[in-house]
Copies of this chain bind each other. A is one copy, B any other.
Amino acid sequence: MNIVNGIMLAAITSSLFVSTARAADDSNKFSPLVDATGNISRPLDFRRNWVHLGSWLVKDDEHASGPGVHDVYADPAAVKTYLDTGKWQDGAALVKAISAIQSRQLTTGNAQWAGDTGVWFVMIKDRNKRFPDHPAWGGGWGWALFKSDAPEKNITSDWQGEGLNNCYGCHLPAKSTDWVYIEGYPTLR
């Protein structure tokens, strides 16, 4: 084999390899956080590398199912597209970290801020109904909840199920804005 043929063969081989890998995991094209069967992973670098949409404080009272400081982020490409078009692009990823409320009387007044994070909610936009039989996917999104005692495991059993591990009840008031509480996010206004 001469050098040119060797290079060509190497190029063809690596091209075939890439094609095969992609075909075997087609769903990965749209999000690095989703595997071929629809399992959603927790993003790890969002505080440093994603765009902050806004933060909420939900008081810890008898009515609160999700008390804490809610910090919400989206991946930068998704934010750019949203600001350009008003739509979440296919594969757009949002994460909400809910942290314990810390508080202290400071010189500016009674201040409350985020302590340790207890749970992370993740939403992945899916415009192609990729996982019609997966109960964590529906309404145009994949839904996930991770808790700090087992942060690698999505415990959302059914996005429309009852109970705090699911999504539908809390997000229903935001259905008209594609299930996202846009009004709370200064970055998107």
Q: Please report A residues at the B interface, Cβ cutoff 8 Å.
A: 47-48, 51-52, 54-61, 63-67, 69, 71, 73, 79, 83, 97, 99, 102, 105-114, 117, 169-170, 172-173, 183-184, 186-187
Contact = CB atoms under 8 A, between A and B. Distances in A.
Contacts of A117: 186
A73 B186 CA distance: 13
Given A57-B57, A186-B99, A170 B108 contact: yes
Q: Please state the number of chain copies in the assembly.
A: 2
A109 B69 contact: no
A97 B189 CA distance: 15
Given A55-B69, A58-B110, 5 more contacts: A54-B71, A55-B113, A58-B108, A58-B109, A64-B110
Contact of A48 (B51, B61, B108): B51
Contacts of A112: 56-59
Contact of A52 (B52, B57, B59): B52
Nearest to A186: B114
Nearest to A169: B107
A173 B58 CA distance: 26
12 contacts: A47-B52, A56-B113, A57-B111, A58-B106, A58-B108, A58-B112, A71-B186, A106-B173, A107-B170, A107-B173, A113-B183, A114-B186
Nearest to A114: B186
B56 A110 contact: no
B47 A71 contact: no
B111 A56 contact: yes
Nearest to A188: B47
Contact of A109 (B61, B99, B111): B61
